[in-house]
Amino acid sequence: MSAQSEFLWYIPNDVKAGHRGDTADPNHNSIATLTDQAQALERHGWRGALIGSGWGRPDTFTVAAALAARTETFEPLIAIRPGYWQPAHFASAAATLDQLTSGRVRINIVTGTDNLAAYGDGEADPSQRYARTKEFMRLVRRLWSEEYVTYAGEHFRVANSTAAPRISPRGERRHPKLYFGGASDAAERVAATEADVQLFWGEPLADVKERITRLGDLSWRLDRDLAPLEFGLRITTVVRETSREAWAVAEAKVAEMARQAGAGWNDHGPPIAVGQRRLLDLQSRGDVLDDNLYTAPGKYGAAGAGTTWLVGSAEEVAASLQKYRALGIRTFILSDTPYLAEIERQGRTLLPLLRAPEAT
């Protein structure tokens, strides 16, 4: 794979122990445990980690700031929802953390519904939520790059607003990248015009290729005025020394998931989003697609990036990820449980293969 590829992990940030089969340790979300994971990511060559978000979870931005303070190179990909934040407040908070960490902040914008009433978000209509997200992303980017911004939109207003401290350009990086997911028509229009990186879940290669092509065409038709849209893959990777061992582990995990009716695996509640429906529909095409894309977890309650898994030896999983890279995927966000043990295992066995000269 190209040296331009980036490899991140996932930190679930959940008050409940045992997330997606993780070790059910009562201290699973303590600062000590989370710091162990972030520092292990540094030691084993990962760039950083996506930190999960949702009402009823610890505040993601606070967790990210705490972990950044205890690490040197770890880059948090902080999941946030526009319904939680006003754009100017968020722009200032993110600029502050970016300045304190010497440019280590990344942002994942989440539009999907949550427990809206619990935090006072009255916008439940999907089309309006995506319209709000579009305004939020455009306004935050302006607040990071301009001074005395005045804006009056359908959802947000600011007058003579300047976010401080100012974002310091670092080479080609002008500000933190905005990552975004979603597969509906409305989501793709937001991605095509406003996102820096579109994240996909683990769909088959042909499906990802079709979506990349469609988003490229849409960017052109909607007169995108930013740098070309980049693409990332968020997927579970089950890696062992041999293919046989990896499949035995994966099948045992699915059997346990079935026994517990998916408890701890689904943190994407109803309604089912378009992207989630695409993953669940893969089951009708078989339990294993492409070389080693395992769809069975979705039958038993897995959701999001846990719905489909790449399973195999390090060589087999690396070969599959290289095929996604050949389609144009640049950022890879991987994970498996137990999280800490797999940070180390996959950092030791998988990452060197993905960075090897023959992978370019």
d(CA 77, CA 22): 21
What φ, ψ does residue 339 adopt, rounded to 5°? -60, -50
pLDDT digits (tens, 9 = 90+) for 200-242: 999 999 999 999 999 999 999 999 999 999 999 999 999 999 9
Taking every pair of C-alpha atoms in the chain, what is the biggest distance, in angstroms?
Answer: 62
Beta bridge partners of 198: 180, 231
Q: What one-character-per-residue DSSP string does 76-130 give?
A: EEEEE-TTT--HHHHHHHHHHHHHHTTS--EEEE--S---GGGGT-----HHHHH
Rg (CA), the chain: 20
User: What domains appear along the chain, each with residue ranges and CATH number?
Assistant: 6-233+312-359 (3.20.20.30)
User: How high is the pLDDT of residue 53?
Assistant: 86
Write out 276-306 in H/E/C secondary structure: HHHHHHHHHHCCEECCCEECHHHHHCCCHHH
For the entire predicted model, the pTM comes to 0.95
Residues sharing a CB contact under 8 Å with residue 47, sequence separation 6 or more, in sequence order:
6, 7, 8, 73, 75
Q: How many residues does the structure list for the chain?
A: 360
Classify the C-alpha dihedral 21-42-70-63 as positive or negative. negative
pLDDT mean values, one per 10 residues, the chain (360 residues): 81 80 80 96 98 89 98 98 94 97 97 81 85 97 97 97 93 95 95 98 98 98 97 98 98 91 67 87 95 94 90 98 98 96 98 77
pLDDT of residue 358: 47
Encoding tokens for residue 225? 């005025």
The pair phi, psi for residue 310, each rounded to 5°, is -90, 125
